[in-house]
Chain A
């Protein structure tokens, strides 16, 4: 009923669209409006072969090879994959397993490059300055070979999203400059300093997907960024159909689905893509990377990160090369001693806690936070019983009832949890954030999703085993039958042999049986 009233009010134009739920975490944007710094060259770069969602890359270099900055060092494998490029010039020293960004501290194959300090660049690809006349497919291929994946944290290979599907034409391009996570400011700063470059990228993307309008979405705690973008937009005659939308600051405003609803009032159908609602969302950083790839032929070898946290002596917005170990970046920001410090990759709401600082920066690293252990442990207090206050449901932007879902996941009632739309959870953490009983709801949902996925795999495996075994049984039966048939034929051939000698022909036997 309240939802109905809200919808009615929105239709009448009395109320702006706003996704339901959400929370207001303390934003702690320590690095707001700090100018972008260049991170100096590190002695060693570690490049995991899998930095995006999809298949891992296959290395193209061998130990001892000299590489140049921007040189392709690993090729894409399969469709959902993008190649990998050397972040600086140097020598490949080893290709072996190294801990990567993963909650369990898992190791994965990585290419190690020892920098030679010269930072020589490989010959860039041919700049496509005439992109307005080019086929979208050519630009799309350029985005793919430059290794661009969503830099907002999801790292989905970008070229896949830049399609031109007749059935689902993309009308609106949404530039996501929301950055609703606490501490993070890199998108904010990029909009302040590089508004023009971002708009160029936007024009290229709009050309590629045939979008006729564009919206630049910015939260109202970054009005200066909105002004900077507005100014750049006023100077840009090409993007007349692009407007700036300043949205109320509310977490998770920057989540793709919620943002689309806030801006257009449309919902992305469950299990579908934004394309099916006629929109495309691109992160600010990704848009800029696309511009560099198209206009300058530069592959993705660096990204902007927010280096921050309440335990970091000198927070900064920094442009870092992919593959630089966190320890090096933190050291540059004045942090050497990791005693009593927790490292988060990403923001505090959705980021991952890392076990040690030797993992490298990858394409998905939006923020590197060094937090005091007490701060983190305060957020993970001892779980108490649920008092069913319903605050989690009020905070849920997806319209779930988290406390019931958590009960189901905890007691392994997975079918019920699925019926209660477990897989529509976006894991934003708003429910855990407001829970007075400190229940780690998101952790239960991850457990539930993981168990269901495992169950499905097991079921699929059992099903294929069953089919295999049935096929084997059928084959055995067939062979048995054939053998039996052959045997009886042979026997018949052998048995009536004396008779056949009399009759003079084997065929006589069959005639004989026919007669009898």
Chain B
């Protein structure tokens, strides 16, 4: 052994593989809820995205003549799972495949692979999909147990048929199987001059349903409860720290509380914002993606606050009903700057203490 190895000669045993696996495990409750709500469609989406991501990663690694061992680090599988959970159940299969390829190629490998990407791969792919296919990406299937739908997603052949050939296969109109998401509904009504409270009443909005996940939305985003269980697991395993999720959600709640108190007609209440759309998924899982978030605690708080402000602003004033993924992707750009300016105080350097 000629190589010079220097101390420490002990290691705690953490690995990238386990870190990624922990996040996958943390997403398990949300994935289960998505299967409960969207039946086989969720299964197809999740497995399709994960497989495509792994395949794309393998192709990229081969093209770059790198070891295929990198597939085992679970990062590509996690990206696939992330992406699937942020997609609406009704999108065509090829869109999901395209998104997965985008996520791996444009979101990760073009920067040099794991650890070098500026943006969260899954979220950047979702943003690309949303901008490219706005209609498909905002048509929400009526989940099982929520309302009468012409599509029984627990029926394997019906679901497969729908997944492969789209709504045309059913010979029913889109209206018979889709509904508006709460965020979308409020936004549409608001553009027609109807106040928030009135819009929510017309929607039969229930906070309990929103918390449990009995509402329309992307397959993994609906259940705040399932996501919170996963988030707490990540916190308990020290995979993430509290800084980003708390700063992010706290900022959202604060802004919503202030504005909805001042003008309840124009601004949605804080609890609505909390349970709606992808906030909790983004706050606990996407914004905390280690590669594309700041490393210092202060930086993470700044990052979380920035995400909160942007999400609230886009939801309230923007053209899109949901702003969480835009907010995170935008804040991803600022990470190198935040890291530079938000370094912790070094031992023995000022700080008032002798």
Which residues on A are within 8 Å of B, measured CB to CB? 1-3, 7, 19, 23, 25-26, 103-104, 182, 257-258, 261, 265-272, 277, 342, 344, 346, 348-353, 371, 376, 378-381, 384-391, 393-394, 397-401, 403-404, 420-421, 424, 427, 429-430, 432-438, 440, 442-443, 446
Contact = CB atoms under 8 A, between A and B. Distances in A.
Interface of B: 4-12, 14-16, 18-19, 73, 113-116, 238-239, 241, 243, 290-291, 293-298, 300-301, 339, 343-349, 351, 353-354
A2 B247 CA distance: 12
Contacts of B291: 387-388
Nearest to A425: B346
A351 B7 contact: yes
Contact of B11 (A19, A258, A381): A381
A398 B14 contact: no
A494 B76 CA distance: 95
Nearest to A369: B9
A111 to B, nearest CB: 28
A376 B5 CA distance: 10
19 contacts: A19-B347, A103-B4, A267-B347, A268-B348, A270-B346, A350-B7, A350-B8, A353-B6, A379-B11, A381-B11, A387-B16, A387-B114, A393-B344, A401-B296, A401-B344, A433-B11, A434-B12, A436-B16, A438-B15
Given A388-B290, A399-B346, A348 B115 contact: no
Nearest to A446: B6
Contacts of B297: 1-2, 393
B9 A385 contact: no
Contact of B19 (A1, A387, A440, A443): A387
A348 B290 contact: no
B301 A257 contact: no
Contact of B9 (A272, A376, A387, A390): A376
Contacts of A434: 12, 14
Contacts of B10: 25-26, 182, 348-349, 379, 429, 433
A393 B9 contact: no
Contacts of A385: 113-116
Contacts of B301: 1
B306 to A, nearest CB: 15
Given A267-B353, A434-B14, A436-B14, 20 more contacts: A26-B10, A103-B4, A272-B348, A348-B8, A376-B5, A380-B5, A384-B16, A385-B113, A387-B115, A394-B241, A397-B347, A398-B346, A398-B347, A400-B344, A400-B346, A429-B7, A435-B11, A436-B16, A436-B19, A438-B15
Contacts, number: 165
Contacts of B298: 1
A444 to B, nearest CB: 10
A388 B12 contact: no
Nearest to B9: A348
Contacts of B11: 378-381, 432-433, 435, 438
A468 to B, nearest CB: 36
B296 A351 contact: no
Contact of A257 (B5, B9, B344, B347): B347
Contacts of B290: 387-390
B19 A389 contact: yes
B299 to A, nearest CB: 9
A380 B353 CA distance: 38
Contacts of A446: 6
Contact of B15 (A103, A104, A436, A442): A436
